[in-house]
């Protein structure tokens, strides 16, 4: 097949598709131009159009049904870092799934699936674990009452802290604090 040349509207330099029929090259160009138009409006539609264009450029292969299912991809490294930093900076506040998706520049549903792939846990579970770790840090490094620590961790009250702390660690915050205090005193004596 001869090489086809296509000029994108915003790029005066022709793009050469080698070994692609002219009709296929035109269809790929059309799909990519439509995808560019949707990037800001609806990135899921844009991604779908780009996948269609990509599939037209791939050689036809026979694939098993397992290979036909789209692989669930995780977050890009920059997205992981931005989400982690956002959570750490805002741990004292309420953080919604929509907020985290916006930080990663993804739709909420796609972000949720990609997050689970990257972190091996749901965004909510990860956030709860981070809040418990922050509570542990505060209990070890201050004499603040648990009600204050709960608020510092973005939780409603001390009872809320106790419920999630026990679910994650298997013990209550006050019991954990006493135990760690005892361990610290023993270490200081030894």
| CATH code assigned at 170 | 1.10.10.60
Residue 32 lies in a domain: yes
What residue numbers bound the domain in which 133 lies? 126-188
Residue 7 lies in a domain: no
Distance CA 126, CA 28 (A): 40
Task: Quote the crossing angle between the two packed helices 108-119 and 77-89, to the nearest 10°.
Answer: 100
Residue 100 lies in a domain: yes
Is the whole model's pTM more than 0.85, yes or no? Answer: no
Tens of pLDDT, residue by residue, the chain (190 residues): 444 454 444 554 555 555 656 666 777 777 777 777 777 776 777 677 677 777 766 654 444 444 433 445 899 999 999 999 999 999 999 999 999 999 999 999 999 999 999 999 999 999 999 999 999 999 999 999 999 999 999 999 999 999 999 999 999 999 999 998 888 777 777 7
pLDDT of residue 163: 96
Tally Cβ neighbours within 10 Å of residue 176.
19
Residue 27 lies in a domain: yes
Distance CA 147, CA 92 (A): 13
Residue 4 lies in a domain: no
Residue 62 lies in a domain: no
Residue 87 lies in a domain: yes
Same-domain pairing of 53 and 35: yes
Residue 5 lies in a domain: no
pLDDT of residue 23: 66
Distance CA 87, CA 66 (A): 35
Number of domains within the chain: 3
Distance CA 148, CA 157 (A): 8
Among positive and negative, which fits the CA dihedral 119, 74, 127, 90? positive
pLDDT of residue 119: 95
Distance CA 121, CA 114 (A): 10
pLDDT of residue 165: 95
CB 121 within 8 A of CB 129: yes
């Amino acid at each position: 097949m001869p090489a086809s040349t296509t000029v994108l509207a915003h790029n005066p330099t022709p793009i050469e598709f080698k070994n692609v029929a002219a009709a296929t090259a035109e269809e790929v160009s059309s799909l990519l131009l439509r995808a560019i138009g949707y990037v800001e409006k609806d990135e899921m539609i844009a991604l779908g159009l780009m996948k269609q264009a990509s599939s037209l450029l791939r050689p036809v292969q026979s694939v098993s049904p397992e290979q036909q299912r789209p692989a669930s991809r995780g977050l890009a490294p920059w997205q992981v870092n931005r989400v982690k930093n956002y959570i750490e900076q805002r741990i004292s506040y309420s953080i919604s799934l929509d907020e985290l998706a916006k930080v990663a520049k993804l739709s909420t549903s796609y972000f949720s699936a990609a997050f689970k792939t990257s972190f091996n846990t749901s965004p909510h579970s990860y956030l709860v674990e981070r809040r418990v770790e922050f509570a542990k840090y505060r209990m070890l490094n201050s004499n603040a009452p648990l009600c204050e620590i709960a608020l510092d961790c973005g939780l409603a009250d001390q009872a809320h802290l106790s419920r999630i702390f026990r679910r994650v660690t298997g013990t209550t915050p006050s019991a954990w604090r006493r135990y760690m205090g005892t361990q610290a005193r023993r270490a200081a004596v030894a």
